[in-house]
Amino acid sequence: MYSEKVMDHFTNPRNVGELPDADGVGEVGNARCGDIMKLWIKVEDGRISDVKFKTFGCGAAIATSSIVTELAKGKTLDEAEQISNRAVAEALDGLPPIKMHCSNLAADALREAIADYRKKHNME
Amino acid sequence: MYSEKVMDHFTNPRNVGELPDADGVGEVGNARCGDIMKLWIKVEDGRISDVKFKTFGCGAAIATSSIVTELAKGKTLDEAEQISNRAVAEALDGLPPIKMHCSNLAADALREAIADYRKKHNME
Amino acid sequence: MTEIYMDHAATTPVRPEVLEAMMPYFSVEFGNASSIYSWGRRAHHGLDQARDTIAGLIGARPEEIVFTASGSEAANMALKGAAWGLRSKGNHIITTAVEHHAVLDSALWLEKNGFEVTFLPVDSEGRVSPEQVRDAIRPDTILVSVMHANNEVGTIQPIAEIGSVVKESGALFHTDAVQTMGVLDIDLSRLDIDLLSFSAHKFYGPKGVGALFVRKGVRLDPLVHGGAQERRRRAGTENVAGIVGMAKALELAVAEREVEVPRITKLRDQLIRGLREIPHTRVNGSLSERLPNNVSVCFEFIEGESLLLNLDMRGIAASSGSACTSGSLEPSHVLLAMGLSHEIAHGSLRLTLGRENTENDIEYVLNELPDIVHRLREMSPLYDK
Amino acid sequence: MTEIYMDHAATTPVRPEVLEAMMPYFSVEFGNASSIYSWGRRAHHGLDQARDTIAGLIGARPEEIVFTASGSEAANMALKGAAWGLRSKGNHIITTAVEHHAVLDSALWLEKNGFEVTFLPVDSEGRVSPEQVRDAIRPDTILVSVMHANNEVGTIQPIAEIGSVVKESGALFHTDAVQTMGVLDIDLSRLDIDLLSFSAHKFYGPKGVGALFVRKGVRLDPLVHGGAQERRRRAGTENVAGIVGMAKALELAVAEREVEVPRITKLRDQLIRGLREIPHTRVNGSLSERLPNNVSVCFEFIEGESLLLNLDMRGIAASSGSACTSGSLEPSHVLLAMGLSHEIAHGSLRLTLGRENTENDIEYVLNELPDIVHRLREMSPLYDK
Ligand SMILES: Cc1ncc(COP(=O)(O)O)c(C=O)c1O
Ligand SMILES: Cc1ncc(COP(=O)(O)O)c(C=O)c1O
């Protein structure tokens, strides 16, 4: 069902946890539909210097959260904003069709965190 | 499906043939429904002294024809008339339910032959 | 004792290679194919492979194959599913007078439930023409169902041409390919067919497995609602072993077709020639457009069931369109539709050849049959020498 | 690697004795059971014996058993067959909110097609009461369908009492006994049940075989029309091997029930006790009226699919009512109907025991699970230590 890449990120998720002194926080999904992702970013010199996540959700939700943190780290905010849900799925060697809509929200969470950062820093 | 008795009478039908100088002939059934029985009787001293049949039909039709000739032979006309289709089926250790209505006409053929005899001899 | 099975149109034995392919899925890879753990995934993999194999062999896409429990279920799903699914578009259905009961009785049931059905007549060989179909199509026609080849008399219908006619009209076209799957070439990428039914046990697969090809984009109401199996088109835990067996059986049938079909056609023609020498015998169906394994004849003056019983006593398994063998009071609707009288239809005999049959078998049958026919005619009040 | 199968409510392996009983019917006694020659008669004999065995084990008459391809087909046939067959008498159907989708989706489809359906709510343990059924019955009620035991939470319904209530009303009563057949005692000679569905692969029989008990005198429209099989109630060449396998499986299940049920009940309770020690865990369903093999719990703050994947990596096969595992977007309708929130329902886990499970297995699971739950909670934004 899941690619090896998905299973790898599901089994050993990267960057799990919270950043107590985060510069931006994003949260998407809701418990009703079974997926909630929360993502914290630290920003230094316009780049994402650190990122952590917590996810309530299925294997795909955990794996997309994990890989999005890898994709985002080191990127400028503008670059990071361009990461699409589709790109996340591709970085995982694909997701089962049924998971494409419902559990592929990690890029959204990242964008929320960036928006939160910008709002806090009056950069909107 | 069929009892041993049915198969015996089907495989070795008794009294197959015609009686050219018959005293009475009975015919029942029609080709449409797949069963035609024709039965010839010789009568001596009010008793059936000989009986022959020809049948177009399934295994049950042939077996019931055969056994009814055995049951009839030697009986008085009155006795022979009492032979029911049910009695014929019982003498064969039973017939499959589906065959009870459609192929169990031999006793009717016998009754027709007796009626024919009576008519010819003004005994009605 | 001699035992010759010549009723391959009724069913066939499971081939050893097929059974072998099925075996792992009973007790070892027994998982529910919908489950996400490893047992389930392995079962699902077996299912996927079977679907790919079958689709590949008939020019379909894997997702166009819906597994069912039989040819009958597939045909019922095609007719009822299309009827219920398309009711808003129209309520007229066209089929033929010589379909298998799975199609015929589905159509009759739909007729009782608010649909209009046209049953096309056939010619004396059992054929319908594309023109007949064209003439019968109306603006409210939603479905046309014409079988690929007839199970009783072996006549093959011009389904490619009929498909084109139906396609022009926008209606759906279903064909019952239960008798032709694995025997004739079926390439759905080149045929205007929307729905196609088949059944594993007719080509040396297991009983209890069939499939319906549903062309992409065609929407049917399910016949069996429930779980999400078969992309929500047919609920019920999948019969993985059976489905794997069907795929293996079709694979073998198609691989061997080039050799087997000419072999069996030759035997068929030899048998037909021999039977024709029995007086008062007529061959049913088309001689040219005919299933390679089908021999169907009528012997006048005698009835089919007593013929079958006599054949059985000599070790020959065959079938008849006689009323007595169909569980109904009427003889074969196919023979009647072809214009035969009731009387003659009752005297029909069908011999259908298969992989195990040899020339010896043909000779044996040709040796036994005339005697049986003679004996029964001697006993028949209809026979006037 | 450790491999522990604990999803027996999803499916079970075919027992070796069952497979052995089936084997002759694939390639040797392969005849079509409707044929009159010896191959056909031998197949028919196998079918008859299977029917007699099954009927005898559940207090039914042989002619009251209609073989199908699955529990789903049986349930569809019960609901749709009764609905279509009794439409002239009324168009109201009653069922419950916790039925299997085979019943639920059939009812919803009938609702779309002109019938009225009442879905009875359940209490927090998943039970409906005879009083609820009594109150819902109307003069135009033609069918009531209440499952015997729930496949997700294991709750057993009071079907004897509900049957009496339905009988008084003159409506038909169907019960989905897919989870209870072979496990609980079912004596149809003492129960007011008109229709009862079951499925072989749930009691160590093959997949692709089910049956519907149809009490004498009850008339249904067929779901699958066609040939005269099953007394014209379900067309299609019979899956003789599968049916023989189902009979053997049921025979064994009933014979061993007295020993097996207490054994498995003990394991179940041991497992439930152990799981309760994990914080923020709730047990679903009734503790007293419960399938002997069912353990259903919800772990707060985590989602079922990721739980299952983790269990699978440690060799444990289980299932969840999480949306992600059901192919739908909603978590288990059963858990929601019992009043659980979406959030908690997503974190459900079902472990269903079977013949092969031992105390060691229970210990292994109880050893692995707390760690998995802990890991996932650590990762969950909902978990606030
Ligand atoms: C209660 C219940 N009803 C019906 C079914 C459907 O059975 P099958 O998958 O054999 O069609 C199942 C099993 O999934 C079930 O648990
Ligand atoms: C032409 C045709 N259609 C449908 C069927 C039904 O197939 P099954 O018995 O597998 O349901 C048959 C076989 O009996 C057939 O010959």
The one-character DSSP state at D282 is: E
Is the Cβ atom of D155 under 6 angstroms away from ligand 1? Answer: no
Which residues in chain A touch residue D382, judged by CB atoms under 8 angstroms apart?
31, 36, 56
pLDDT for the residue A122? 78
From D19, D324, D336, D366, the catalytic residue: D324
Which of D194, D219, D252 is the last residue in one of the domains? D252
Residue D269 lies in a domain: yes
pLDDT at residue number D130 = 98
Q: Is C56 exposed, middle or buried, given 0-12, 13-18 or 19+ CB atoms closer than 10 A?
A: middle
Residue D383 in domain = no
**How many Cβ atoms from other residues are within 10 Å of residue D126's Cβ?**
29
- Domain boundary residue, one of C252, C287, C309: C252
Mutation for D interface: A14, A36, A56, most D CBs within 10 A: A56
Cα nearest neighbour of C309 on chain B: B59
Domain check: are D225 and D289 in the same one? no
Ligand nearest to the CA of C246: 2
D203 & D59 share domain: yes
Q: How confident is the model at residue C325 (pLDDT cuts 50, 70, 90)?
A: low
Cβ atoms of C322 and C348 closer than 8 Å:
yes
In this model, does residue C327 exceed pLDDT 70?
Answer: no
Same structural domain, C266 and C216? no
Q: Is residue D384 part of a domain?
A: no
Which range marks the domain in which residue C212 is found?
16-252
Residues C139 and C177 reside in one and the same domain: yes
Count Cα neighbours of D224 within 13 Å in the Cβ-side half-sphere: 27
β-partners of residue A24 are A41
Residues C289 and C248 both lie in one domain: no
Q: Which residues pair with D174 in a beta bridge?
A: D145, D195
Does D177 share its domain with D70?
A: yes
Closest residue in B to D35 (Cα–Cα):
B1
The pLDDT value given to residue B8: 96
Q: What pLDDT, on a 0 to 100 scale, did the predictor assign at position C253?
A: 98
Six token digits for residue D272: 């439930």
Q: What percentage of chain D reaches a pLDDT higher than 90?
A: 95
Residue D260 corresponds to which amino acid? E
Distances (CA, A) of D23 to D12, D70, D194: 19, 20, 33
Ligand closest to Cα of C180 equals 2
Is D318 within 8 Å of C40 (Cβ atoms)? no
Asked if D223 lies within 8 A of C226 by C-beta distance, the reply is no
d(CA C78, CA C171): 13
Q: How many structural domains are present in chain C? A: 2
Residue C113, domain CATH? 3.40.640.10
Contact D323 A34 (CB under 8 A): yes
Q: Does the pLDDT at position D326 exceed 70?
A: no
Q: What is the pLDDT of residue A97?
A: 83
Higher pLDDT, D112 or D326: D112
Q: Report the nearest atom of ligand 1 relative to the CA of D10.
A: 14
Q: For C334-339, what is the mean pLDDT?
A: 97
Neighbours of chain C (3+ CB pairs under 8 A): B, D
Asked if D368 has any chain C CB less than 8 Å from its own CB, the reply is no
Interface test with D, best of C239, C252, C303, C310 (most D CBs within 10 A): C239
Among A33, A49, A76, A119, which one carries the catalytic annotation?
A: A33
**What pLDDT, in 10s, does the model give residues D10-48?**
999 999 999 999 999 999 999 999 998 999 999 999 999
| C311 contact D CB<8A | yes
Q: Please write the tens of the pLDDT for every residue from C203-245.
A: 999 999 999 999 999 999 999 999 989 999 999 999 999 999 9
Other CB atoms within 10 Å distance of the CB of residue C281: 17
By annotation, the residues of B acting in catalysis are: 33, 102
Structural domain includes residue C228: yes
Residue C326 has pLDDT above 70, yes or no: no
Residue C118 beta carbon below 6 angstroms from any ligand 2 atom: no
**The predicted structure's pLDDT at residue D152:** 97
The answer to whether position D319 is within a domain reads yes
- Six token digits for residue D51: 């029917």
Minimum Cα–Cα distance from D37: chain B residue:
B1
Packing angle between helix D304-313 and helix A4-11, nearest 10 degrees?
Answer: 100
pLDDT of residue D325: 62
The two beta strands, D316-317 and D4-5, are parallel
Together in a domain, C20 and C158: yes
Report how far apart, in Å, the C-alpha atoms of D310 and of each of A93, C36, C102, C245, D317 are. Answer: 21, 11, 47, 33, 10
Mutate to test the pocket of ligand 1, among C224, C230, C237 (most ligand atoms within 8 A of CB): C237
For residues D248 and D299, membership in a common domain is answered with no
In a domain, C21, yes or no: yes
* A101 has a pLDDT exceeding 80: no
Residue C141 has what pLDDT?
A: 98
Q: Is the pLDDT of residue C1 over 90?
A: no
Kindly state the tokens that stand for C315.
């070790």
**D4-5 and C116-120 strand pairing:** unpaired
Q: Which residue of D has its CA nearest to A27?
A: D381
* Min Cα separation D126/chain C (Å): 20
Mean pLDDT score of chain A: 92
Ligand 1 neighbour D72 (Cβ under 6 A): yes
- Residue A124 is predicted with a pLDDT of 58
pTM: 0.96
- B27–C381: do the CB atoms touch at under 8 Å? yes
Q: What is the pLDDT of residue D327?
A: 59
Say yes or no: C120 and C235 in one domain. yes
Indicate if C305 and C156 belong to the same structural domain.
Answer: no
Judge: C379–B32 Cβ closer than 8 Å, yes or no: no
Please determine, for residue C293, whether its predicted confidence score (pLDDT) is greater than 80. yes
- Cβ contact, residue pair C324, B103, below 8 Å: yes
Which amino acid does the sequence have at C174? H
Dihedrals phi, psi of B27, to nearest 5 degrees: -140, 130
Read off the pLDDT band of A103 (50, 70, 90): confident
C14, pLDDT greater than 80: yes
Same domain, D39 and D115: yes
**What is d(CA D196, CA D60) in angstroms, rounded to the nearest whole number?**
11
pLDDT for the residue numbered D324: 65
Shortest Cα–Cα distance, C40 to chain D (Å): 9
Which residue type does A25 have? V
| Calpha distance C331→C320 (Å, rounded) | 9
Structural contact between residues D146 and D136, judged by C-beta atoms closer than 8 angstroms: no
Decide: C306 in ligand 2 pocket, CB within 6 A.
no
Distance of CA A107 to the CA centre of its chain: 5
| Residue C383 falls inside a structural domain | no
**D320 confidence band (pLDDT: 50, 70, 90):** very high
Identify whether A58 is a catalytic site residue.
no
Chain B to chain C Cβ contacts (< 8 Å): 67
Q: What is the pLDDT of residue C221?
A: 97
Residue C215 CA to chain centroid, in angstroms? 20
Q: What is the average pLDDT value for chain D, to the nearest integer?
A: 96
H/E stretch holding C120:
strand C116-120
- Confidence bin at A33 (pLDDT 50/70/90): confident
Q: What is the pLDDT of residues B16-37, one digit of tens each?
A: 999 999 999 999 998 777 889 9
R_g over Cα of chain B: 13
Across the range C27-56, mean pLDDT stands at 95
Q: Which residue on chain D is closest to A101 by alpha carbon?
A: D329
The token pair at B94 is 């039973």
Site to probe by mutation for ligand 1, drawn from D77, D103, D202 as the one with most ligand atoms within 8 Å of Cβ, is D202
Whether pLDDT at A63 is above 90: yes
Ligand 1 site, residue D71, Cβ cutoff 6 A? yes
Rounded Cα distance between C129 and D298, Å, is 63
Task: Answer yes or no: is C385 within a domain.
Answer: no
CA distance C280 to D236: 35
Residue-averaged pLDDT of chain C: 96
Q: Output the domain CATH number for residue D266.
A: 3.90.1150.10
End-of-domain residue from the set C195, C223, C252: C252
Please report which confidence band the pLDDT of residue B100 belongs to, taking 50, 70 and 90 as the band edges. confident
Ligand 2 centre from B16 Cα, in Å?
Answer: 39
Over residues C169-186, the mean pLDDT reads: 98
The arithmetic mean of pLDDT across residues D246-266, rounded, is 98
Q: C123: CA distance to ligand 1 center in Å? A: 47
Shortest CA distance to C136 belongs to which of C196, C93, C87, C81?
Answer: C93
User: Picking from C82-91, C220-229, C281-290, D323-332, which range would have the lowest pLDDT averaged per residue?
Assistant: D323-332
Reply yes or no on whether A33 is catalytic. yes
Closest of D119, D174, D179 to residue D153, by C-alpha: D179
Ligand 2 atom closest to D226 (CA): 6
Q: Which of B58, B64, B112 has the highest number of chain C CBs within 10 A, making it the mutation to test binding with C?
A: B58
pLDDT per position as a tens digit, D55-92: 999 999 999 999 999 999 999 999 999 999 999 999 99
Check pLDDT > 90 for residue D384.
Answer: no
What is the distance in angstroms between the Cα of D78 and the nearest Cα belonging to chain B?
A: 27
- Identify whether residues C271 and C243 lie together within a single domain: no
Give the CA dihedral A72, A75, A81, A84, nearest 10 degrees: -50
